[in-house]
Structure 1
């Protein structure tokens, strides 16, 4: 099939119902009551704010460096319940964007729900109307398109003067960088309207943006290349047999790299009434397939094989030509199975801690000349890997990540900066009363730069923004800003330098 036919198939799938649209009889379940009854102190990170969070000033200790004068944007699931019903999966919650404006000894914060079409219609009705990624509540109708499930809750991309709120499988949503007001869906081109645009684009050091979208039911992988000013350069759809759930990818200076876990969509399960998540099955016999696509010619593709495993996030990838062939080195956070996404991330919505396979930092080497692929675990529990944005697609050494899982509650208690070549790691432990969120590396000219990120302090029931010197992480924060309240635990974000909008 040519490009137009592949895109037509994707567009047709987005316009047609996934199931015959018929409302189910309402029969409220007990998830909200179970969450309310839970005595877990950490559940405040998964509570639904009653409204947008008005602008407020944080209490600042120390001074944030000049390189951090700018705005940290974050987003995550925040609207977990409505009309007495609670979602059954953390990833289903309506997205809320957070804005931390940093100016030396002053930090201002604001939070607003993303007014997606889904959220707007459901608030008007006072109840959930459509199914979600991992939940089909009583009385809701099946999704009519990816955007009927779009909650814009996973990541943010500043691009061409816009701020885009991103989700797993639908359109990007335009958000005002200053007010955080919702401006509507982003359409890259007429024939791409409503097609998936994933939550993990990669931005080259020159500002070029690469992204993908998954057409699970059609076995199609959609690719995007976007100029630094936000103009679409090209988009295409590639057929991929047994296309799995792919959340993230990596780029080198020459390649797009997809690690494809054996969690595969089965249409029959969806047709039988399963949620989108539960329509996926674990097929370890497929192994972890690795799809490498040439950046310049998407028709040049290569498939390699790693042992079966699951992942959400990659750190970075880079390529080199050696006497033994062209090698790609890629680091990612690997789990043995996908059990956590089916259990751990669900039970949070009932205020329960259920442990799943622990994710660990892993380094793989792909030999494009021989087809050989091998990997090594670094023995560190990890999530939310980030690198210096100037090194994306290039050789790097250090990966910043959350670490130190605790048995008694979900999440992490520390952050670490790990050398993926030597395995050496420095860390800062926030402590057992802190729930660590994603931290980011912020460059500072030729200096080592800074680490910036948030934690939920369970003892204070407040969210704290901290800054560390990247070469002295273990010394602790050089500055902290404490809000007067706890924010919903989020997923990803981005720092934008310069004067606030």
Structure 2
């Protein structure tokens, strides 16, 4: 695992031409811009967690059938301070940095005091956000870094606490049709209150773009929700939106603010102050985008941890949202660098598998409905919403698929009814394999490669696309085999056949998140209305029933990971990376059964 997760990676400041083995579609012109931690040791000091590593930007420039790769470390204040000192001097969430033992007592005392109320790092390694004409590297604290997506150069630092009073914010904002940004952040003990703040950043500066003025300066608070605990707010990584509503989960994965304030003195990391409380509920907050106020009905479900929302939409008086859910917070511990070593198989036993779940909430609750009655009448789902004595609604999800992460959709259908999810498979050995789910698959399409690990799949629609999956999938692939070069994989999203791969002779880490930036003049948002059924029939692929959801999976595997078998074939004799499994949600309505 050291080759994928642990080694420091060298920058490639000048473009490196890739070896393209086949013809790339002529219409595909642009840059997949990706983010990942790239440096885990500085001098003789080492980070504790993979997500603490110094941020590395990388891009694949696709133009006229050729592909060029380049990478560059984000020149953050964190990077500069660490490199100049040749040691880790800026604390990260999982790694606490301490003063140089050669410093005098006054410098040490100042360091302790400055960490009492943590001012987090600007090592923006999680995602890329587009804001008007600008692009920003983001993390989950209050700092953004504007970047040049062409040169990967680092520009100015933005502390958005100057514009919105939040200490933390997600790295998964949403965008409306006009390009406005909607995001959620946490305001910690501000004027005696801790609250979750939904804020909006305009795509353009009101009155026209002024020289040097960023749209961030015109951010406005959309709505705020009081946290249930003043000193233990919920951790969250994403949220959902529909045409008329925002979906926010206040989950029992909580930050202990008092422990965080004393972590430096106690010699522990801030990550040790994050804990899962299995005795608590997950509270579901729904905010009406028209009134900018939370709906009055109180919804809740069982304790869970969600990092990634998939999509949400409205149907017949109900709000449906899909998430990748865990039963505990064990995923974070999995990526401690001490676990990503030669004993990875033993250290990587997740106590909870990521499961695609669908929740359905009634937007209007009948006051005369009996206590305990199911308030959902949709025939397309087995999800339930039960009325309780106090008028609250207890939500029971439908289990759609087990073993998925890093979900992506065709974003033109964000907040709208949809049928397809593109995701990376997570089927960790020695967990049971998902046989029954595969037997229920309507069909399967497979792409395999031994010892390969996929990054998040990026869906790029064909200009003028007429159906949901009219486009291609891009994924950066790395391998545990040192003899195999990493490559950018190009797949036909309709058939999942490999169109091309662009191999490069560089070392790469596994990527986290990214986005595709098309060349100027090509608007991804301008797609023709969907005509899925006729297009599918013409392509020889059966149209799904109206009540079905299909899941297309990149199954990551290595010598320690085992993917499920493809229908009609036996268990693979060796590790493989495969795409597969077009599933009907209706067929899986009774849940997923497993067998060893």
Q: Is the 8 A contact 1:165 1:172 kept in 2?
A: yes
Give the Å deviation of 1:336: 1.3
Match of 2:220 in 1: 234
Secondary structure (helix, strand or coil) at the match of 1:121 reads helix
Q: Is the 8 A contact 1:462 1:487 kept in 2?
A: no
- List per-residue Cα deviations over 1:76-110 (Å, max 9, x = no partner): 11121112121111111111111111124200111
Choose the corresponding residue for 1:136, options 93, 96, 99: 96
Secondary structure (helix, strand or coil) at the match of 1:172 reads strand
Give the Å deviation of 1:380: 2.9
Number of residue-to-residue matches in the alignment: 444
Q: 1:483 to 1:436 in 2, by over 3 A?
A: same
Range that drifts further, 160-169 or 213-222: 213-222
Give the Å deviation of 1:304: 1.4
Q: Is the 8 A contact 2:117 2:261 kept in 1?
A: no
Give the Å deviation of 1:349: 5.1
Q: 1:350 to 1:271 in 2, by over 3 A?
A: farther
- List per-residue Cα deviations over 1:436-463 (Å, max 9, x = no partner): 1101111112251111111103333422
Give the Å deviation of 1:343: 3.8
Q: Is the 8 A contact 1:122 1:129 kept in 2?
A: yes
Q: Is the 8 A contact 1:146 1:195 kept in 2?
A: no
- List per-residue Cα deviations over 1:159-212 (Å, max 9, x = no partner): 222111010122221001211111022355844388434211111234222111
1:481 aligns with 2:502: yes
Distance 1:194 1:451 in 2: 35
Give the Å deviation of 1:364: 1.5
Q: 1:340 to 1:190 in 2, by over 3 A?
A: closer
Choose the corresponding residue for 2:277, options 278, 283, 286: 283
- List per-residue Cα deviations over 1:267-298 (Å, max 9, x = no partner): 33224424222112211222222111122333
Secondary structure (helix, strand or coil) at the match of 1:109 reads strand
Choose the corresponding residue for 2:51, options 91, 96, 109: 91
Match of 1:361 in 2: 356
Distance 2:127 2:442 in 1: 29
Distance 1:96 1:428 in 2: 31
Secondary structure (helix, strand or coil) at the match of 2:236 reads coil
1:259 aligns with 2:249: yes
- List per-residue Cα deviations over 1:355-376 (Å, max 9, x = no partner): 2122122221122323352211
Larger proportion of strand: 1
Secondary structure (helix, strand or coil) at the match of 1:471 reads coil
What's the Cα RMSD here?
Answer: 2.8
Distance 1:155 1:275 in 2: 23
Match of 1:293 in 2: 287
TM-score, normalised via structure 2 length: 0.69
Choose the corresponding residue for 2:397, options 375, 382, 403: 375
Match of 1:76 in 2: 36
Give the Å deviation of 1:148: 3.7
Q: How does 1:203-222 map to 2 (within 5 A)?
A: 203-215=175-187, 219-222=194-197
1:308 aligns with 2:303: yes
Q: 1:125 to 1:247 in 2, by over 3 A?
A: same
Secondary structure (helix, strand or coil) at the match of 1:99 reads strand
Larger proportion of helix: 1
TM-score, normalised via structure 1 length: 0.81
1:342 aligns with 2:342: no
Segments of 5+ residues of structure 1 without an aligned counterpart are 1-39, 410-417
- List per-residue Cα deviations over 1:213-253 (Å, max 9, x = no partner): 22356632122212233733522554211321111111111
Distance 1:405 1:431 in 2: 16
Segments of 5+ residues of structure 2 without an aligned counterpart are 101-110, 206-214, 366-392, 432-436, 522-596
